[in-house]
């Protein structure tokens, strides 16, 4: 049962009105959960994690462990003056931040977060997530092209080239999981991972696809890093080369929205990895939603680790890693998975 | 049907949140209009020329063309992955696997051709190569 049905049952409203009210309240709940991670905790955690990796303390003056900076920073950023540069392409310049932040949020509609929190469960769930996540590249092009700045333009081009190069390995590796599960529906993919693979004494190893096919898992992690534009693939906004790439000319709330969109995207990548490779909300003792959040924060931590530890690749290397490396490996993985499923007895 | 109502509701929420943030920011931010600070950033210099008529590397077109081919191919692979397990038990592994292997094989040959032609290697400008100093 999905979240809107649960809510409309609780409120006792039937019919189409119940559907609408349940859907809206459910959407507000899911949106709040995601924003609490990506907008409130994410930026603070990022600063703390990066500081820990580089042997610093970072923010600690306001509130315990610098938690007060969450409020201070949001007020500070929102109260900055909005400077619209000369010659920007006006509708596109304004739409890009909204599209980037909104499209990232949309992907969470079909993610099962455990404890019955799943907004919708259409049969094409996995394809839906890939489709709405790709909208981000449109937003990046709009931001880069409309800014009337050469650095932004180059950043926008790089963003497209990178998303194109890594989109296909990402989808091919993602759907190799479908060969195991036999369905694109998110709840089915999670249910298929709940079986026990082997019993090691008292510990039962679940049949998570990361354990069944670690090759696909590693490939997906790499392609996902490129999709969310984080090291070693942070070329679209490479600070030392093209200032800030597509976000050079954005200030005030627009900058906040672009930044928020990127954070939500990192969490969407984490949610996708958790759902299709790490058994979704499955885990012992604790409730499902807690396990789900632990898993997406694990992926977030990994992203920040890469950010601190791995140098950026050059643009020519980025093209070659994507087309000559990951794409070929993704095809190999698809064949490998098909052979495992087809030949080995299940 | 109710699934797509829920997704529609999330679209409403996903658009409302940025708009609400823009509204709050509009309430509390100052506005000090001034011509100088509206110049686009070009490393501190006065911006020259238009940024929309830049000549950029042809590579960006080449990979976009390749992407179209492989993206459509991906669309054809997805239904195959969904029915693969059932197809194996119905018509056997070889009959379920070989047609798709042939299809992907053709595209891999295409990729190999593009690879040899240098479509996925970064195009270097001859001028920059001549001016290169080791």
State the complex-level ipTM: 0.84
Token pair 């459509």 is found at B72
pLDDT of amino acid B85: 82
> Helix H segments across A238-322?
239-242, 252-277, 288-309, 315-320
Q: Which of residues 37-76 of A touch B (CB under 8 A)?
A: 75
Distance of alpha carbon A69 from its chain centroid, rounded? 24
Residues of chain B with pLDDT under 50: none
Range of the domain at B89: 54-124
A 153-212 → B contacts, CB under 8 A: 153-154, 157, 160-161, 164-165, 167-168, 171-172, 175-176, 178-180, 182-184
Per-residue pLDDT tens digits for B12-46: 888 998 899 889 988 888 888 887 788 888 877 88
Whether B42 and chain A come into contact, CB under 8 Å, resolves to yes
Residue B84 lies in a domain: yes
Helix (H, G, I), strand (E, B) or coil at B124: coil
Which one, of A122, A213, A143, lies nearest residue A174 by Cα? A213
State whether B6 and A23 contact (CB < 8 Å). yes
Whether A278 and A214 have beta carbons less than 8 Å apart is answered as: no
What is the count of structural domains for chain B?
2
pLDDT of residue A47: 87
Burial environment of residue A62 by CB neighbours within 10 A (0 to 12, 13 to 18, 19 or more) = middle
Q: How many residues does chain B have?
A: 134
Is B45 within the bounds of a domain?
no
Residue A220's pLDDT is what?
Answer: 92
Residue B36 lies inside a defined structural domain of this protein = no
- Say yes or no: B78 and B117 in one domain: yes
3-state secondary structure of A112: coil
Separation CA B11–CA A105 (nearest Å): 8
Give strand pairing partners of A200: A203
Q: State the smallest CA–CA distance between residue A53 and chain B in angstroms.
A: 31
The pLDDT value recorded for residue A346 is: 54
**The predicted structure's pLDDT at residue A1:** 67
Contact B41 A248 (CB under 8 A): yes
Is there a domain that residue B134 lies in?
A: no
Q: B120 and B62 in one domain?
A: yes
Evaluate whether residue B48 is within a structural domain.
no
CA–CA distance, A236 with A226 (Å, rounded to integer): 10
Q: Structural domain boundaries of chain A?
A: 86-343
Q: How far is A148 from chain B (nearest CA, A)?
A: 5
CA-nearest of A233, A263, A216, A260 to A161 is A233
* Residue B106 is assigned to a structural domain of this protein: yes
Q: What is the pLDDT of residue A297?
A: 92
Looking at the structure, do residues B65 and B26 belong to the same domain, yes or no?
Answer: no
A13 close to B (CB below 8 A): no
Where chain A has pLDDT below 70, the residues are 1, 345-346
Give domain status of residue B132, yes or no: no
Could you tell me if A21 lies within 8 Å of chain B, comparing CB atoms? Answer: no
C-alpha distance from residue A292 to each of A115, A175, A242, A282, A321 (Å): 10, 21, 36, 8, 31
């Amino acid at each position: 049962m999905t979240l809107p049905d649960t809510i409309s049952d609780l409120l006792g409203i039937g019919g189409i009105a119940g559907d609408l009210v349940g859907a809206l309240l459910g959407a507000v709940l899911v949106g709040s959960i995601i924003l609490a991670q990506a907008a409130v905790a994410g930026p603070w955690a990022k600063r703390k994690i990066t500081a820990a990796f580089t042997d610093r303390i970072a923010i600690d003056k306001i509130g315990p462990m610098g938690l007060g900076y969450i409020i201070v920073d949001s007020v500070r950023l929102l109260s900055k003056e909005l400077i619209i540069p000369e010659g920007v392409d006006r509708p596109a310049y304004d739409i890009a931040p909204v599209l980037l932040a909104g499209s990232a949020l949309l992907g969470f509609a079909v993610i099962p977060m455990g404890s019955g929190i799943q907004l919708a469960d259409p049969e094409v769930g996995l394809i839906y997530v890939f489709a709405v996540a790709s909208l981000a590249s449109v937003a990046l092009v709009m931001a880069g092209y409309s800014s009337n700045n050469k650095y932004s333009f180059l950043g926008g081009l790089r963003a497209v080239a990178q998303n194109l190069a890594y989109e296909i390995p990402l989808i091919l590796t993602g759907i190799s999981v479908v060969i195991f599960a036999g369905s694109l529906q998110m709840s089915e993919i999670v249910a298929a991972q709940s079986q026990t693979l082997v019993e090691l004494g008292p510990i039962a190893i679940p049949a998570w696809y990361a354990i069944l096919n670690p090759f696909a898992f590693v490939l997906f992690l790499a392609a996902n890093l490129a999709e969310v534009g984080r090291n070693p693939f942070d070329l679209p906004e490479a600070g030392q080369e093209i200032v800030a790439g597509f976000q050079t000319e954005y200030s005030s709330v627009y900058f906040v929205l672009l930044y928020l969109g990127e954070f939500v995207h990192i969490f969407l990548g984490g949610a996708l990895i958790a759902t299709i490779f790490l058994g979704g909300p499955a885990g012992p003792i604790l409730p499902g939603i807690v396990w789900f959040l632990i898993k997406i924060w694990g992926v977030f931590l990994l992203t920040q680790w890469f950010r601190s530890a791995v140098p950026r690749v050059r643009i020519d290397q980025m093209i070659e890693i994507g087309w000559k490396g990951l794409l070929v490996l993704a095809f190999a993985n698809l064949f490998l998975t098909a052979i495992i499923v087809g030949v080995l007895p299940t | 049907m109710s699934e797509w109502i829920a997704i529609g509701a999330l679209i409403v929420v996903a658009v409302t949140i940025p708009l609400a943030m823009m509204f709050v920011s509009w309430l509390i931010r100052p506005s000090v209009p001034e011509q100088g600070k509206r110049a686009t950033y070009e490393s501190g210099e006065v911006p020259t020329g238009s940024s929309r008529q830049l000549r950029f590397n042809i590579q960006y077109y080449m990979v976009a063309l390749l992407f179209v081919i492989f993206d459509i191919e991906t669309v054809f692979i997805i239904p195959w992955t969904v029915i693969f397990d059932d197809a194996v038990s119905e018509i056997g592994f070889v009959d379920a696997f070989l047609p798709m292997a042939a299809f992907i094989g053709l595209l891999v040959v295409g990729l190999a051709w593009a690879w040899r032609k240098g479509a996925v290697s970064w195009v270097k400008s001859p001028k920059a190569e001549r001016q290169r100093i080791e």
